[in-house]
Structure 1
Amino acid sequence: MFQNRLINIMLIILVALTLIGVIALVLYTQVFQEAEAEGEPTIDQVLERSVETEEITTNLLSNHIIRSQFVFQLENEGAKQELEKRNFQIENIIIQQLSDMRDADFQGSEGIKELEGRIRSEVNQIMQEGQVVQVYMNQRVIQ
Structure 2
Amino acid sequence: MTNKAFKVVLTCLIMITIIGLALVIFLLLNNNNADNDVITIDDQIEASYMTEAMNIDLSDNRYAQLQFRIITDSVDTRDEMEKRIFQFQNLLIKETVDMNSEELNSDLSAFETRLKDEMNVFMEDGEITDIFIVSKIIQ
TM-score norm. by structure 2 comes to: 0.72
Tell me which structure has the larger Cα radius of gyration: 1
* Structure 1: gaps spanning 5 or more residues: 1-29
What do residues 51-107 of structure 1 show as CA deviations (whole Å, max 9, x unaligned)?
Answer: 011110011122111001011000112211100111111111112212221111133
CA distance in 1, matches of 2:87, 2:104: 23
CA distance in 2, matches of 1:90, 1:106: 17
Paired residues in the alignment total 110
Partner of 1:34: 33
Partner of 1:118: 114
The list of structure 1 runs, each at least 4 consecutive aligned residues, that deviate by more than 4 angstroms after superposition, is none
Partner of 2:98: 100
Partner of 1:79: 77
Q: Percentage identity across aligned positions?
A: 28
One of 62, 67, 70 as aligned partner of 2:68: 70
CA distance in 2, matches of 1:67, 1:99: 14
CA distance in 2, matches of 1:107, 1:122: 20
- Aligned-pair distance for 1:35? 4.8
One of 134, 137, 140 as aligned partner of 2:130: 134
Partner of 2:43: 45
The answer on 1:90 being equivalent to 2:91 is no
Partner of 1:7: none
Secondary structure, in 3 states, of the residue corresponding to 1:58?
strand
* Structure 2: gaps spanning 5 or more residues: 1-28
CA distance in 2, matches of 1:58, 1:107: 14
